[in-house]
A and B are shown apart, each in its own frame.
Chain A
Amino acid sequence: MRSVAVALAVARKDLTSEWRTRELVPALAQFVVLALVIANFGFQIDSRNAPAIAPGVLWMALVFAGLVAFGRAFAAEREQSSLEALLMTPASPAAIFAGKALAAALLLVLCEAVLLPALALFFSVPLSFDVVSAVLLATVGMAVLGCLFAAMVARVRARELLLPLLTLPLWIPFIVFGGQAVQAAMGGGGGTGNTSGLLIDLDILFVVLTSLVARFVLDD
Chain B
Amino acid sequence: MTRYEKGALAAVVLMLVAAGFIFLYAPTDALQGPVQRIFYLHVSSAIAAYGCFAVVLIGGVAYLWKENVAADRLARAGALVGLVFTTVTLVMGMIWAKPIWGTYWTWDARLTSTLVLWIIYAGYLMIRRLADPGRQAARFAAVVGIFGFIDVPVVHFSVTWWRTVHPGPVVINDALPPQMLIAFFVTMACTLFLAAVMIGIRYRIEVLTDQAAERVVPATIVAPTEAGSAR
Contact = CB atoms under 8 A, between A and B. Distances in A.
Contact of A172 (B116, B126, B144, B147): B116
A169 B123 contact: yes
A216 interface: yes
Interface size class of chain A, counting residues whose CB lies under 8 Å from the partner chain:
20 to 34
A165 B122 CA distance: 9
A155 B120 contact: no
B151 interface: yes
Interface stretch (B25-33, B49-57, B77-85, B134-142): B134-142
Given A152-B127, A157-B130, A166-B144, A216 B116 contact: no
Contact of A216 (B119, B126, B143, B154): B143
Contact of A220 (B119, B120, B127, B136): B136
B146 A213 contact: yes
Contacts, number: 56
A217 B151 CA distance: 21
Interface of A: 145, 148, 152-153, 155-158, 162, 165-166, 169-170, 172-173, 205, 209, 213, 216-217, 220
27 contacts: A145-B147, A152-B131, A152-B143, A153-B127, A155-B132, A156-B127, A156-B130, A156-B131, A158-B130, A165-B122, A165-B123, A166-B126, A166-B144, A169-B116, A169-B119, A169-B120, A169-B123, A169-B148, A169-B151, A205-B150, A209-B147, A213-B64, A216-B143, A217-B140, A217-B143, A220-B135, A220-B136
